[in-house]
Amino acid sequence: MAMKSNKQTYTFIDLFAGLGGFHLALQQLGCKCVFASELKEDLRKLYQLNFPELDEKYLKGDITHVNVNDIPSHDILCGGFPCQPFSQAGKRLGFQDEGRGDLFFKICEIIKHHRPRYIFLENVSNLKGHDNGDTWRVIKRELEKLEYYVPEPEILSPHQFGIPQHRKRIYIVGIRKDLAEKSCSKEFVFPKGEKDKQCDISRIIDKDDTDIQPLALKTHQQLKVWQMFLNELKLRNRIIPKFPIWAMEFDADYEYEDIAPFKQSKKQLKGHKGKLGWVINGPSKEDCLRQLPIYAQTDTADKFPEWKIRYIRQNREFWDENTDWLCTWIEHIKDWDNSHQKFEWNCRGNNDGDLKHKIIQFRASGIRVKLPTFSPALNLVGTQVPILPWIELPKECIPTYSDEELEQYGLTQEDIRFGRYLSTKEAAALQGMGKLKFGHLSRTRIYEALGNAVNVDIVTIIAKKLLGYEQ
């Protein structure tokens, strides 16, 4: 693609705008936003706060209620259209997801009317394979029917470009065919980055940040107990298991291989040992089921899937091999939530057993540990925000607890000096949104909005190539 000697001033519209990731990226390239839409009222107010140059009358809510005639002419159409219909975490209804899955066709309506030079869309990586690839084929076909050249989309993650966050998203671009032919835009190739590039999250950490959330005493305790677990393995020269630790299976012996517990009778369940070795008993089958791990209480299939059978078997074998010390250790976790009794060491190539210098997430699926060179994607749930256990808190941020309160959780004053969640400022930096103002949004809402946002740095890199600012 030919290099432009002078950057052309392009206009753009920002659909499903969220925090304005597309706006930030294109604005710094000299482009001008002429219209934006965002369904959520609190994010619209924030958009107005951060981008006051956009005339208020051109900042709209539900795009389905906007007449295409009321949208100004523009050179670039941008949109991170709703991803839930295609996400692995959702029901994956795709275009059948009423009110969200069909929003792509509203985009097509706008394109048909305004004929922008370029189309720039973003979504979850699963979109490409959704419905055996039919979803992507429909998108490509519809854009091509509108006379756009649509190169093969690319799935990219910020870490490939040196940004310490692993977050795969699909990026789709379209170039109006008359322009593509004239400017040789058919040569457009997405930037690739380096798939195995190592990035250290420390580059975005602000150790002096005081707008932070320290860890609760219970969280400190749980990390300390799991560190005890890892220390015992190290003491015995044992490798940290590659399979997820499901501690609730320790000392359990209920039947699980041939028929799922839910399908068993009360008689079949009674007398066996359930979670953490508790003897199953009770007047009803429901009472008996409640003494099993949560995942064994409600699975209504006749048989567990093979992966679940494998994990249960591996954990019971691990118990048998380590009963001498695990029988004491499990006393610490008996009153914990099910998810906190599950533990995943996702530190490929690292077996040092040290939690202090890792990134940790408390997820519904369990406590997950990763290297600081592998920052996980921002999650939408505040409780899953990455924990940075090695960070020493500024003195004014250290919570005040009595020795008696600390003793209750087996902690010391030294323990609570370290460890906090990734701050909102740092989360914004991971998305290239460090300059944004967040107004009166709550901490939880900021994390949620950032988790849904497009990555500014990646959009900028792609846009430079798309607009011909870089070869």
Give helix 217-235 / helix 306-329 axis angle, nearest 10°.
90
- The Cα–Cα gap between 162 and 456 comes to 13
Q: Which two tokens stand for residue 50?
A: 């951060």
Inter-residue contact 180 to 171 (CB < 8 Å): no
Inter-residue contact 233 to 353 (CB < 8 Å): yes
The amino acid present at 192, given as its one-letter code, is K
Residues in contact with 408: Cβ distance below 8 Å, sequence separation at least 6, in sequence order: 217
* Burial class of 383 by CB neighbour count within 10 A (0 to 12, 13 to 18, 19+): middle
- In angstroms, the Cα distances linking 24 to 2, 41, 376, 453 are 25, 20, 23, 11
DSSP 163-193: -S-B--EEEEEEEEHHHHHHHTGGG------
How is the chain split among helix, strand and coil, in percent rounded to 5?
A: 40, 15, 45
Q: Is 83 a catalytic residue?
A: yes
Helix (H/G/I), strand (E/B), else coil: 150:
coil
With the C-alpha atoms ordered 357, 361, 367, 370, is the resulting torsion angle positive or negative?
negative
Determine which one of 78, 83, 199, 347 is catalytic.
83
- The Cα–Cα gap between 261 and 298 comes to 9
Point out the residues that are catalytic.
Answer: 83
